Amino acid sequence: MIKDLVIKKINKYEDERGWLAEIYREDEIDFHVAMSYISSTKPGVIRGPHEHKHQSDFFVFIGPGNFELHLWDRRKDSETFQEHIKLEVGENNPCFVIIPPGIVHGYKCVSDCNAWCINLPNKLYEGKNKSEKIDEIRWEQDKNSPYKIL
């Protein structure tokens, strides 16, 4: 496990109408949500890896579809510095993952269908009124990057 990474199983409550799942409760997780978005990733497509200097991501993987999620700890002051973990998340393993700054992350859709990811980050993309520089180090653009998802 990587220090400060939060992974929580999400329970789906099903009945004849479908299902319901609680994603976030402020009485369980101390996290400020600044915005939210949903993305759909096609089979075999990789997003990332990248990292943030200030932003924490709050990814929700609940389906449809599944991802192979990769996480690398790049924080030199962390007791888990240089740790790498790989998780399968999504429809077969519904969970949320809170990724603090300095942890490189990326995922690959490993389903035969598009897979969905919801993100509830604690910072606004490009800042207030989209007036700031994007808080990302895009490792996927570096051909010599040590962070690879195959």
Give the domain CATH number at 40: 2.60.120.10
Residue 149: the pLDDT is: 96
Residue 125: the pLDDT is: 92
The whole model's pTM is what?
Answer: 0.93
What residues have CB less than 8 Å from 112, skipping those under 6 apart? 43
Residue 55: the pLDDT is: 97
148 belongs to a structural domain:
no
- Number of other residues whose CB lies within 10 A of the CB of residue 89: 25
pLDDT (tens digit per residue) in 10-19? 999 999 999 9
146 belongs to a structural domain:
no
147 belongs to a structural domain:
no
Number of domains in the chain: 1
pLDDT (tens digit per residue) in 40-90? 999 999 999 999 999 999 999 999 999 999 999 999 999 999 999 999 999
150 belongs to a structural domain:
no
Residue 98: the pLDDT is: 98
1 belongs to a structural domain:
no
Ramachandran sector of residue 69 (left: φ over 0; alpha: ψ -120 to 50; beta: rest): beta
115 belongs to a structural domain:
yes
CA angle 62-95-99, nearest 5°? 115
What the block records as the tokens of 128 is 């207030």
Residue 44: the pLDDT is: 98
74 belongs to a structural domain:
yes
Domain of 96, in residue numbers: 6-141
Residue 14: the pLDDT is: 95
pLDDT (tens digit per residue) in 119-140? 999 999 998 999 999 999 999 9
